[in-house]
Amino acid sequence: MSDRLLELRGIRRSFGDHHVLRGVDLDVDAHEVVALIGASGSGKSTLLRTVNLLEPIDDGIIRLAGDDISDPRVDADGVRARIGAVFQHYNLFPHLRVLENVTLAARLVHRMPRAEADRRGRELLASIGLDGFAGAYPDRLSGGQQQRVAIVRAILTDPQLLLLDEVTSALDPELVGEVLALVRALADGGTTILMATHEMAFAREVADRVVFLDGGVVVEEGPAAQVLADPQEPRTREFLSRLL
Ligand code: ADP
Ligand code: MG
């Protein structure tokens, strides 16, 4: 038995007559880090949103730890409680203090007692050197600090799976490193991560596997070093060569 955590089979999604996902098959094993790469508009964000049920699918099956979460009768909030997600743009509520941001979902969705949520929140903030900002509002933090707080919030309740969608692409270049360092630390700690990224050097360093999405399907996948250094498919080669 493999320790497969996420299984996508034949995922289809269209917007009108625009067929964005045309039958995507993708697996993520427990403790694996998978980087999803592909041109802008190739459907990476759409695919990630299908996984935490923010995007309905037209066809296909999504299994999380063996459970069919694409079944329309599934409890979507219950599924989302098992998945942490961080997106491209700042994810924090501006009117809530940092610690409140970090603990809100844990308290409301997971019914974690406030004392426990606060304790874990402060621990995690301390682990990224931001405990001094617990009582501050997000606008006091840099973009990189805000994204790290958003990531910490996503892992507060130990989700089975962490989805990261281009978490550094809205940041000034000098702030990218601190966010990638946190992702690397989570990966090293065994967090299962599916991340869309345009940071190929980072993908090579952190991802176990790279999946290249093009034309609505997975065109190529394999060990990160192999796909990025020695792609087999012409479309992968072309995509990577355009990044140089
Ligand atoms: P990526 O994240 O790889 O850049 P996206 O998943 O954001 O790609 O988008 C893939 C395509 O789907 C794009 O052409 C985008 O315009 C289209 N798309 C995404 N969401 C919607 C939507 N809600 N309505 C219409 N088109 C959409
Ligand atoms: Mg995107």
The first and second tokens of residue 109, run together, are: 């969705």
Query: Helix or strand or coil: residue 117?
Result: helix
Share of the chain above pLDDT 90, in %: 91
Distance between CA atoms of 152 and 84, rounded to whole angstroms?
A: 10
For strand 217-223 and strand 33-37, is the pairing parallel, antiparallel, or unpaired? unpaired
| CA proximity to 78, closest of 60, 56, 101, 53 | 53
Question: Residue 244 pLDDT more than 80?
Answer: no
Determine if ligand 1 sits within 6 Å of the CB of residue 20.
yes
**How does pLDDT run across 177-192, given as a tens digit for each residue?**
999 999 999 999 999 9
Q: How far is CA 160 from the centre of its chain?
A: 12
Helix segments in 14-142, DSSP class H: 44-51, 76-80, 98-108, 114-127
For strand 59-64 and strand 67-68, is the pairing parallel, antiparallel, or unpaired? antiparallel
Q: What mean pLDDT is predicted for residues 85-101?
A: 92
Distance between CA atoms of 30 and 3, rounded to whole angstroms?
A: 6
Domain residue limits, the chain: 4-89+163-243
Determine if ligand 1 sits within 6 Å of the CB of residue 16.
no
For residue 43, report the distance from its CA to the centre of ligand 1, in Å: 6
Tell me the helix, strand and coil percentages in the chain, rounded to 5.
40, 25, 35
Nearest protein Cα to ligand 1, atom 25: 15
> Does this complex have an ipTM over 0.85?
yes
For residue 126, report the distance from its CA to the centre of ligand 1, in Å: 37
CATH of domain 4-89+163-243: 3.40.50.300
Q: How many CA atoms lie within 13 A of 92 on its CB side?
A: 29
